[in-house]
Amino acid sequence: MEVLKLDNRNTTLVDSVEESLIRFFKEKGLRPGSSIPNEIELAASLGVGRPVLREALSRFKMTGMIVSRTKKGMILGEPSLLGGMKRCINPLLMNESTLRDILEFRIALEIGISNNIFSNLTPQDIEELEQIVEMSQVIGNNKYAPISEHRFHTKLYEITGNRIISEFQDIIYPVLDFVKEKYRDIFEPIEQELIQNSELITHRHLLEYIKRGDLEGYKHAIVEHFKLYTIYLERHKR
């Protein structure tokens, strides 16, 4: 096997090995399913010990970029774009600024998928959304049992037909629950303001726009649905 050049600009030897392997895969035009040289060959070509190589390979294996198959050795796989994020995301380890950024990103994303929802919507989707709304245990105004809140919005993401969007929703939802619980004392007065001004948009309201096929009405309503959070974000700007 040819000698692979290490990039010394990286901070660690393992980083250099990782970058060199990625460059090698690209230059050889390897695709998911392609076999790659064994550890002995790779270590010799890179001029590094097998422990260092194994650490670099383990990073690839964690993302699914490299898969070990019995009697077939190592092959390239399709990496999970959000796999690393899923493993490391933990609201307890995030500062308030990061938590607000994630909340703001989620709001922007859900508003942005409105067109996709209406383009892919089926009668069965509407029926499932109706069931979710009807089965919701509403506690006061717009306070849904957590499982209902999650199911309704998860269904909206699912309707888009975009696997990455749905996966992202599952990853960040624990963060959103954490934010709502941690800042409950801040959210409750804002919610009361919205109730008093008749500005609280519930899942049932959103569903009515969906059933009517009113995309523009839905776009306005989904913005209003998240008003509780946008007011919080405006009042607590960095």
Beta bridge partners of 67: 75
CA angle, corner 205, sides to 104 and 132, nearest 5? Answer: 85
In order of start, what are the domains of the chain with their CATH numbers?
13-76 (1.10.10.10), 84-235 (1.20.120.530)
**Polymer length in residues for the chain:** 238
pLDDT at 6: 59
pLDDT at 212 over 90: yes
Number of H helices and E strands in the chain, helices first, is 13, 2
- Measured CA to CA, the distance from residue 120 to residue 158 in angstroms comes to 10
Beta bridge partners of 75: 35, 67
pLDDT at 72: 74
| Higher per-residue pLDDT: 230 or 143 | 230
Sign of CA dihedral 166, 83, 40, 19: positive
- Measured CA to CA, the distance from residue 75 to residue 72 in angstroms comes to 8
238 within 8 A of 100, measured Cβ to Cβ: yes
* Listed residue (175, 125, 127, 126) closest to 150, CA to CA: 175
Q: Give pLDDT tens digits for 81-135.
A: 776 677 778 888 888 888 899 999 999 999 999 999 999 999 999 999 999 988 7
| pTM: predicted TM-score of the whole model, two decimal places | 0.72
Give the up-direction half-sphere exposure of residue 77: CA atoms within 13 A in the CB hemisphere: 17
Q: How many other β-carbons are positioned within 10 Å of the β-carbon of residue 130?
A: 14
For residues 27-34, average pLDDT: 88
Output phi, psi for 10, to 5 deg: -75, 160
> For all residues of the chain together, what is the average pLDDT?
85
What's the distance, CA 135 to chain centroid?
26
pLDDT at 141: 42
